[in-house]
């Protein structure tokens, strides 16, 4: 299957600083990528949909000015957590969609996730 790589796997940052997380599709071009957040012992919640060359679409309740998403190329989307606070500590996971034909064969591949700890 296709490979999606996230970097870094884990990061610790000080409160008030910004952190950038990269999501790369290694062997395919992804026009659409998705960012999820997972709190401990809870499920994944979709934060935003990232489309190459256009603005990201954020889910209700997600602060777009705090979670900046840039999908500058067909293989890279970045999530920047600005002015991070301890409550932003979480596991962030991206996925990239591989268009299928027929459409029902479309599949999303997930990165390995990034554990962010804000101290």
Question: Which of 47, 69, 93, 118 touches other proteins by CB under 8 A?
Answer: 93
By CB under 8 A, tell whether 44 contacts other proteins: yes
Q: Is 29 in the site for other proteins (CB under 8 A)?
A: no
Pick from 27, 34, 74, 89: nearest CA to 57: 34
Taking the least distance from each CB to other proteins, the nearer of 82 and 115 is: 115
* Contact (Cβ atoms closer than 8 angstroms) between residue 18 and residue 82: yes
DSSP codes of every residue in 68-110: EEEEEETTEEEEEE-S--GGG-EEEEEEEEE--SSGGG-EEEE
Interaction between residue 89 and other proteins (CB under 8 A): no
Q: Give residues in contact with other proteins (CB under 8 A).
A: 4, 6, 9-10, 32-34, 41-46, 49, 91, 93, 95, 97, 103-108, 110-113, 115
């Amino acid at each position: 299957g296709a490979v999606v790589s996230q970097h870094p796997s884990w990061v610790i940052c000080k409160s008030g600083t910004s952190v950038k997380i990269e999501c790369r599709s290694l062997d395919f071009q992804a026009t659409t990528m998705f960012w999820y957040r997972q709190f401990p012992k809870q499920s994944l919640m979709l934060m935003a949909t990232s489309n190459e060359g256009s603005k990201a679409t954020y889910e209700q309740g997600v602060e777009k000015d705090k979670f900046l998403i840039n999908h500058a190329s067909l293989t890279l989307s970045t999530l920047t957590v600005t002015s991070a606070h301890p409550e932003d500590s979480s596991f962030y996971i991206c996925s990239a969609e591989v268009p299928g034909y027929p459409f029902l064969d479309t599949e999303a591949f997930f990165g390995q996730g990034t554990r962010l700890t804000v101290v």
